[in-house]
Amino acid sequence: MNIPGKTIAALLLTLVATAAQASVHDHIYANSFDIAADAPASKAEASRFLTQATFGPNQTDITRLMAVGYNEWIEEQLGMRATLGEPTVEAVVNARIAGSQNTGQTQRLNRWFWQATYAPDQLRQRMAYALSQIFVVSDQSSMISGDVVPMTAYSDLLASDAFGIYRTLLSDVTYNPTMGKYLNAFRNLKPSATTSPDENYAREVMQLFSVGLIQLNMDHSPLLVGGLTVPTYDQTVITHTAKVFTGLTYSDAPIGTGANFSGANFYGGSLTFAGQYNPMQCWGTELFPYSNGNMRHDITGDDGTLHTDKTVLGGAIIPSGQDCDVDLGAEIDIIAAHSNVAPFISSQLIQRFVTSNPSPAYIQRVATVFNGSTGDLGDVLKAILIDSEARNPPAAGATSESDSYGKLREPILRLTAMWRAFNAAAPAADIYGEIGMTGNTGFLTAYGQGPLESPTVFNFYTPDYQQPGVFATNNLNSPELQILNESTLYSSINSYYNFTANSYVGISPLPSTPRPMIDLSSLTVNVATPALMVATINANMLYGTMSTSMQSALTNMIQFGLNGATANEKAWSLIYVTMLSPEYAAQR
């Protein structure tokens, strides 16, 4: 299908959840058996909510949401156990190794996209995806690029902790060896006469995972003193904090026995996949006497002796001479209790689910829930999704505020939403147990993003990125536009083409690489009536919001531009062109 460049340019304008977590959010019968008072008024409203809360609406979720209402649907999702990827990926990797086949990140990505598309715990999977863009690790790092199974386990960690307490998530991330290897906390050593502890994790855990660079008010506005912003920490705090994050290694590193632990090997371990992804072991005074050369944790204070304390974030004190785990626990407590955490994390989560430019009042309402629930991320996410600013968007073009509402839908979410809208059938598992979902697509190259594939620890885009021009002039954030350029524009167009024109039920011959096959029957049944085909696209992909001009353009494309084409070609062409349209790209 050859679409002129001008036409293209015009068209382009969600580890098992713990029992404690499950019980907190286990309110499946909260609405009794009455008709839900907060049920969406229409399927279009239901679809709009599910666009925010899932990897894309499908008929099953729409029907359920219409029946039980927003609150109950969220509670059901909060109570679901996590769909995990690690057991499947480990089995596939082992089978491929036994079959003398190569293994790589493709095995992880295939499973990730399967979960995004088909897992029932959609809200949890979406939250894990959002958290992965805050607590970033990436297979682009040579330190973990070969760690296919451990990286899958890291995704599972985010899913398992998605509705838990923020402090627990921060601790689990800190002890995770994949994060440790990515940001150099893994086998980070106490200082010697010639070296100092690596400061990478100490810096990023504050800058990116918790408090940011400047003090914030609850509405995420800068706290000003004398008209100036106030830093949350300085280099001295980073240096002192780096001492805390020393002495961590694989959990199965042999530690020996006896007073001298003569069999200890700090550089051992990783003998099994579990050893590679289980929480790291801390090698401090809990294992070794202070004088023992095997102790790798820095128990000294600010001056490098046991006579002072460690002065860390906010001027808080961690006494010297403590066990390694005690130091880490104290540091995590200090960070999690900081006043910036609630607005800093709440603002970013709102951006990932609802809008790039939430009002200060919206952020403050969510941050208040964050603090009131002691950082219960399930409660925070519910507050985000049921907030009036999420559920009642301003009319497009009505005010300057309405013009800043919404967000650019991430390229990956455009793909998964299309798969779910048209009941894409996953291919059968191959002889190694792997279900192919990617069609050999290089997502980072094609879309500028891929699951756990960020080029840097700063994610694919920053929360405060402002596209030059109208956005920057009006001081509006547009994070997702940071990855939109000539290269990703055309490569994503090609990718969407492959996932539509070459990927539908009944195509012959089958594509050489496995991928989901979309069901075109809801469109082809009306092939004699182009307007009805367009109406189906409007309902399934744009949820009734398609403009009259776009309806007219698509109808004319089918009736005149594709006159004589097969029913399937007309159907996938409608889906494909809609995927390229600004109306599908924009989420409001």
Write a three-state SS string for 126-162: HHHHHHHCCCCCCCCCCCCCCCHHHHHHHHHHHHHCC
DSSP element (H, E) containing 225 = strand 224-225
The closest of 122, 111, 11, 113 to 503, measured between CA atoms, is 113
311 forms beta bridges with: 317
Do 309 and 351 contact (CB within 8 A), yes or no? Answer: no
DSSP element (H, E) containing 408 = strand 407-408
Do 505 and 518 contact (CB within 8 A), yes or no? Answer: yes
Which residue reads 């991320």 in tokens?
377
Considering only the C-alpha atoms of the chain, give the largest distance between any 2 of them, rounded to a whole number of Å.
86
425 forms beta bridges with: 517
CA dist., res. 251 & res. 366, Å (int)? 37
75 C-beta neighbours (distance < 10 Å), count = 20
Peptide bond into 191 cis (omega under 30): no
Distance of CA 13 to the CA centre of its chain: 25
* Structure token digits, residue 355: 């809008």
- Long-range CB contact pairs, 482-491, < 8 A, 24+: 483/411, 483/447, 483/448, 483/449, 484/408, 484/448, 485/448, 488/411, 488/446, 488/447, 488/448, 489/12, 491/445, 491/446, 491/447
- Long-range CB contact pairs, 191-198, < 8 A, 24+: 191/243, 191/298, 191/304, 196/239, 196/242, 197/242, 197/243, 197/245, 197/246, 197/298, 198/242
Do 280 and 177 contact (CB within 8 A), yes or no? Answer: yes
User: What one-character-per-residue DSSP string does 40-51 give?
Assistant: -SSHHHHHHHHH
DSSP element (H, E) containing 281 = strand 281-282
Q: What is the pLDDT of residues 321-359, one digit of tens each?
A: 999 999 999 999 999 999 999 999 999 999 999 999 999
pLDDT of residue 139: 98
Q: What is the pLDDT of residues 212-238, one digit of tens each?
A: 999 999 999 999 999 999 999 999 999
CA dihedral 73, 74, 80, 82 (to 10 degrees): 130
**What is the chain's mean pLDDT, rounded?**
92
User: What one-character-per-residue DSSP string does 440-502 give?
Assistant: T--HHHHHS--TT--SSTT-SS-TT---TTHHHHTT---GGGGG-SHHHHHHHHHHHHHTTTT
* Structure token digits, residue 549: 């001009």
Claim: this prediction has a pTM higher than 0.85: yes
User: Which SS3 state, helix, strand or coil, does residue 352 take?
Assistant: helix
DSSP element (H, E) containing 228 = strand 228-229
Q: What percent of the chain has pLDDT over 70?
A: 92
Q: How confident is the model at residue 265 (pLDDT cuts 50, 70, 90)?
A: confident
Do 158 and 131 contact (CB within 8 A), yes or no? Answer: yes
Q: What is the pLDDT of residues 531-570, one digit of tens each?
A: 999 999 999 999 999 999 999 999 999 999 999 999 999 9
407 forms beta bridges with: 587
Q: Which residues contact 398 (CB under 8 A, 6 or more apart)?
A: none
pLDDT of residue 69: 98
CA dist., res. 20 & res. 428, Å (int)? 36
Q: Which residues contact 528 (CB under 8 A, 6 or more apart)?
A: none
Question: What is the CA angle 443-444-450, rounded to 5?
Answer: 70
CA dist., res. 424 & res. 517, Å (int)? 5
CA dist., res. 309 & res. 301, Å (int)? 4
The closest of 234, 183, 243, 227 to 213, measured between CA atoms, is 234
Q: What is the pLDDT of residues 395-445, one digit of tens each?
A: 876 666 678 999 999 999 999 999 999 999 999 999 999 999 999 999 999
Which residue reads 């536009």 in tokens?
481
For residues 575-579, give the mean pLDDT: 98
CA dist., res. 349 & res. 156, Å (int)? 19
Q: Per-residue pLDDT for 18 more than 60?
A: no
| 410-443: b (≥16 Cβ within 10 Å) or e | bbbbbbbbbbbbbbbebbeeeebebbbbbbebeb
518 forms beta bridges with: 504
Of residues 7 and 323, more confidently modeled: 323
pLDDT of residue 292: 77
Q: Per-residue pLDDT for 447 more than 50?
A: yes
pLDDT of residue 3: 40
CA dist., res. 539 & res. 529, Å (int)? 16
Q: Which residues contact 443 (CB under 8 A, 6 or more apart)?
A: 109, 412, 449, 450, 451, 453
Q: Which residues contact 447 (CB under 8 A, 6 or more apart)?
A: 411, 412, 483, 488, 491, 492, 495
